[in-house]
Chain A
Amino acid sequence: MTVTAGPAVEGADGRRTGPARAVVTGVGVVAPNGIGTAEFWAATLAARSGIGLLQRFDASAYPVCVGGEVLDFDDAALLSQRLLPQTDRMTRYALAAADWALADAGLDPAGLGEYDLGVLTAGACGGFEFGQRELQKLWGTGPERVSSYQSFAWFYAVNTGQISIRHGLRGHTSVFVSEQAGALDAAADTARLLRTGTLRAALTGGFDAPLCPWGLVVQLPGGLLSTSRDPERAYLPFDADAAGYAAGEGGALLVVEREDTALRRNAAGIYGRIAGHASTFDPRPGSGRPPALAGAIRGALREARTDPADIDVVFADALGVPDRDREEAAALAEVFGPAAVPVTAPKTLTGRLYAGGAALDMATALLSMRDSVIPPTAGTRAPAPGPGIDLVLGEPRETPVRNALVVARGAGGFNSAIVLSRYVRSPHHRAVTRPA
């Protein structure tokens, strides 16, 4: 995305001004350590973990038996009965979070034009649990027993589609499939579509739920999941004992609007704005060329017109795999200087959520900004040798957060970084009033 794209906005005094800004007005969360934004945020600040021994099925014989499950989600109470036969767990989370994000924003889709609202989500896993059940029918009781809903219930784009149908959001819809980096790419494209005037508002974020037998087994060949059977020691990014990560389920959705749209409808509150983004792709393994993560971070800062010194916190990708942690620490040290910026990874309380991971990190960064507090990284105790980072450990750190950087890497070489900035009303919007 480019800062120059898009028509200028007409200010209240008729002056043409800069391109429209993308502001976040609503947040909806379903996470292993909290269902709903308030519960998740309280758990995150108190370092209450949602990672445990897997409970939904007996994983004791699997090489991996720890993960971040969402255990108290009451789908029958939250969703209509018509939706249950046609949705995977991840879609149920996404639909609940969409309801909550719109309610949080006070945004009634009927108040905007038919094609003014869109949905851009990330998807990395698809509906594994639904798909497993249908595959079991296919090979167990025959193809005629396979649900016709399997045609879309497994699909990467299904969360976008179901949200669009549920709320009548008929503007641009799309899905980003770049593993853990996807939600940042979706948010960036959302900001671009708002700037160019294609949309006035959108839901963006991501959800995955790969913790069923099939979903877990397909993650094993990658060799990056921790085989620790102790939930408290399974995911220790940047620690000398780091040995992989725990997978989790859930994610977050954000309502993002053009600033002028949010102000005209007197939006109740603005969490912050999407200030800049960049994505890069790593060179082929074995090429000898360096990883491209620092380039993504620099690109995001450049687009946000923000100096490294003005970033108050970095939400790290924090893979928990020693050489990849070193790469990330080196990229941060290269851009910011050694230990020059607080770094945190509250995903140590949820596990890595794939498409939901960076979405939840964006939600967490916006809550940090709102409450001027950086949540801690759990688990990690003894920092690994290598480039120094100022990792926030133990207790939340109270400090003003004006600009936050969220970093995400997707398996296969995706790097993305996004800058979220505290919202200050644009000068040309100061006099905005509803025309008589």
Chain B
Amino acid sequence: MSGITLSQLVSLIRDCAGESDVADLDGDIADMGFDELGYDSLALLELSARIKQTLGIEVPEGDMRTPGGTVRLINDLASGKDA
């Protein structure tokens, strides 16, 4: 099972929920809250579905707080599954 980089996650976000209205997603956003970036619970539901489709990994939308944290969560799950 493969993991994900921040820029790959950002590309999934753009694709399923649209570009942020308030921040540059190519900037330093790893530790910004999704709510600060303008993504609501439905956007995270979309992202969760897209992560599952793309990587086969289930990350509940409620566990996603920041892009950086979500990348770590995915990669932990990916390596846990590999182990």
Contacts and interface: CB of A to CB of B under 8 A. Distances in A.
A81 B16 CA distance: 11
A86 B21 contact: no
A287 interface: no
A151 B46 CA distance: 12
B19 A82 contact: yes
B38 A148 contact: no
Given A144-B53, A148-B45, A148-B46, 13 more contacts: A80-B19, A81-B20, A81-B21, A82-B17, A82-B19, A82-B39, A84-B18, A85-B46, A144-B49, A144-B52, A145-B53, A148-B42, A148-B49
Contacts of B19: 80-82
A62 interface: no
Interface string A173-194: 0000000000000000000000
Nearest to A152: B42
A151 B41 CA distance: 13
Contacts of B53: 144-145
Interface in B39-81: 39, 42-43, 45-46, 49, 52-53
A148 B44 CA distance: 10
A82 B20 contact: yes
Interface in A134-149: 144-145, 147-149
Which 7 interchain pairs have the tightest Cβ spacing?
Answer: A81-B19, A148-B45, A81-B18, A82-B18, A80-B21, A85-B18, A148-B42
Which of B17, B19, B38, B46 has the largest number of chain A CB atoms within 10 A?
Answer: B17
19 contacts: A80-B19, A80-B21, A81-B19, A82-B18, A82-B19, A82-B21, A82-B38, A82-B39, A84-B18, A85-B17, A144-B49, A144-B52, A144-B53, A145-B49, A147-B46, A148-B42, A148-B45, A148-B46, A148-B49
A212 interface: no
Contact of A83 (B18, B20, B45): B18
Interface residues of A, number: 13
Contacts of A147: 16, 46
A147 B15 CA distance: 12
Nearest to B14: A81
Given A144-B53, A147-B46, A148-B49, A85 B16 contact: yes
Nearest to A142: B53
A137 to B, nearest CB: 11
A149 B17 CA distance: 9
Interface in A283-336: none
Contacts of A83: 18
B17 A151 contact: no
A82 B17 CA distance: 6
A83 B16 CA distance: 11
Contacts of B16: 85, 147
Interface in B1-34: 16-21
A80 B46 CA distance: 18
Contacts of B20: 81-82
A149 B46 contact: yes
A86 B43 CA distance: 9
B38 to A, nearest CB: 6
